[in-house]
Amino acid sequence: IVTYERETWGKKIDFLLSVIGFAVDLANVWRFPYLCYKNGGGAFLIPYILFLVIAGMPLFYMELALGQYNREGAATVWKICPVFKGEFSLSLLSLYSISFLTSASSPTSHLLKKDPLPTSYAKYKMTPAAEFYERGVLHLHESRGIQDLGMPRWELVLCLVAVVFLLYFSLWKGVKSSGKVVYITATMPYVVLFVLLIRGITLPGAMDGIRAYLHIDFKQLNDPKVWIDAATQIFYSLGAGFGVLIAFASYNKFDNNCYRDAILTSTVNCVTSFFSGFAIFSVLGYMAYKHGVRIEDVATEGAGLVFIIYPEAISTLPGSTFWAIVFFIMLLTLGIDSSMGGMEAVITGLSDDFKILKRNRKLFTFATAFGTFLVALFCITNGGIYVLTLLDNYAAGTSILFAVLIEAIGVSWFYGVDRFSEDIERMMGFKPGLYWRLCWKFVSPTFLLVVVIASIVTSTGLSYDDYVFPSWSNVIGWGVALSSMMFVPVYAIYKFLSMPGTFKQVSVKTNPSHLRSFDQLVNSLLRKPSLNVLVLLLESPSLSTPIQHCSHPLKS
């Protein structure tokens, strides 16, 4: 028998800050406030909170419990139901997201070096701030579209190198190092948001902006797009489906109360999204007041908000250099945190599956960081903003919802809600309540299936400002999404075809629920969950399959 002790978080707060840091990302600042404003203001909170309660929070809890009980990453955790191991391929979403976030952080690093320009608002982005961002930083005017990307901008390449090296040295020693980095990166955004809010509400016109943010228009709820936006935002913001929560939870102590952690961290994330809207719209209200225009003339989302509109507002304030530095440091830490989570999901998942990678973690971490760097180079070319837009739409929409749907079906229907509940009871001493079990088995999968279908049916072509993406780029976008989604059925078919026996025999082998009595026997005998045991004695045909599929962290 070969044994090894799995690394654990140094302190409980390391885990909580890592989860919060991953979940609270750029989307909380540049997407949620605008979605809330655009989709009925306070009325948007109805579908948002509903989806949080019936799907977001239950599946957040599921991922934490799944990782903590099995003490494995997102690849090997599917020993509970091997036919679903292809779901780990959806961690490709993490790679896309890392590239998206690191490339988005690069202009942030570059803008930190520049003094704010004196600006005045005008429509159609004809302001010095917009021209500096699009012509001075991105060089967008040198690209005719996504078909004409050009070469990477050397200034942004240097910034990207700095961001990637920061990611590498945060992760190369595992959670022992990353757990300390988040003390700064996870808390900094809250300090900055609070400071910006206090400054924002003292500005003239701030209350008009906040009223616009919170206005209630129930008629918007008749639009299916509002509900799809709310569902997508919940899952993109909470981070369920990326494999990150499973990876983080796998380093917890076996008896950690992950139920309390799930409630706390998911609530903190959603409250942060709502809170950031006050900091954003108080300043947008000031912009509208100062230039005598309506709120809708300055309200926007994405890069236009954080790199043009908000910096332009900051530049009109006394001490603008200080406020600009504070704001961009917040954006940088938001991007770094989420990138760390996505990279850790890939590293942990593959390291648990291939032990040679675990033994050479530093080298593997460098290879992952370097691969991320190469993909992100496409996003910092002259036409990189088009690649960024494509990834933002196709790698962060339907794919996420599909990933969580497959996960919910695999755990609830194939592994079994009852068995999963018993696993949780072994960890924490109590079973999940009826509400959680109903959500896992019926409510969440049904809801996710409806939203996935609706998101596909209502999908439209991409555009960036006045530029409309060519049809072939939308095909590439769906290829990006399907590159991870198709692995699930492909691997399931491969698993069935590669195993000997009839279809009925293979079905039994790939669904280990029939091993409940054996698993319970093992769990009653083994009470040292801090160790993982790799069993080498598998000669007995009667014990081979039960041992391989036993879900207890200590296999024997």
Q: Which residues contact 188 (CB under 8 A, 6 or more apart)?
A: 329, 330, 333
Q: What does residue 443 show for φ and ψ, rounded to 5 degrees?
A: -65, -55
SS3 label, residue 384: helix
Closest CA to 248 of 28, 472, 68: 68
Q: Are strands 463-464 and 467-468 parallel, antiparallel or unpaired?
A: antiparallel
Contact between 45 and 229 (Cβ < 8 Å): no
Of 31, 26, 156, nearest to 103 (Cα)? 156
Which of 183, 228, 334, 205 minimizes the C-alpha distance to 272?
Answer: 334
CA nearest to 272, candidates 200, 197, 345, 343: 197
Report the sign of the C-alpha dihedral through residues 517, 523, 526, 529, in that order: positive
> Is there a binding annotation on residue 261?
no
Tokens of 193: 């948001």
Residue 231 exposure: Cα atoms within 13 Å on the Cβ side:
27
351 appears as a binding residue in the annotation: no
Which token pair is 368?
């992952």
Residue 230's identity, in one-letter code, is A
Query: Phi, psi (5° rounding) for residue 445?
Result: -60, -40
The secondary structure of 490-502 as a DSSP string is HHHHHHHHHS-S-
Is 24 annotated to bind ligand? Answer: yes
Antiparallel, parallel or unpaired: β 467-468 and 2-5: unpaired
CA pair distance 292, 127, nearest whole angstrom? 16
The set of residues, in sequence order, having a beta carbon less than 8 Å from that of 498 and lying 6+ positions away, is none
3-state secondary structure of 41: strand
Return all residues near 226 (Cβ < 8 A) that are at least 6 apart. 39, 40, 44, 47, 220
- Alpha-helix runs per DSSP H in 239-299: 244-249, 258-291
Q: Is 245 annotated among the ligand-binding residues? A: no
In DSSP terms, 216 is beta-bridged to 41
Q: What is the CA radius of gyration of the chain?
A: 24
The type of residue at 408 is A
337 is in an annotated binding site: yes
Question: Does 334 belong to an annotated binding site?
Answer: yes
**Residue 39 marked ligand-binding:** no
CA 258 to chain centre: 19
Whole-angstrom Cα distance, residue 371 to residue 458? 33
Rounded to the nearest 5°, which phi and psi values hold at 41?
60, -125
**d(C-alpha 402, C-alpha 445), whole Å:** 10
CA distance 382 to 386: 9
Question: Residues marked as binding?
Answer: 21, 23-24, 28, 237, 269, 334, 337-338
Residue numbers in the known binding site for Na(+) are 21, 23-24, 28, 237, 269, 334, 337-338
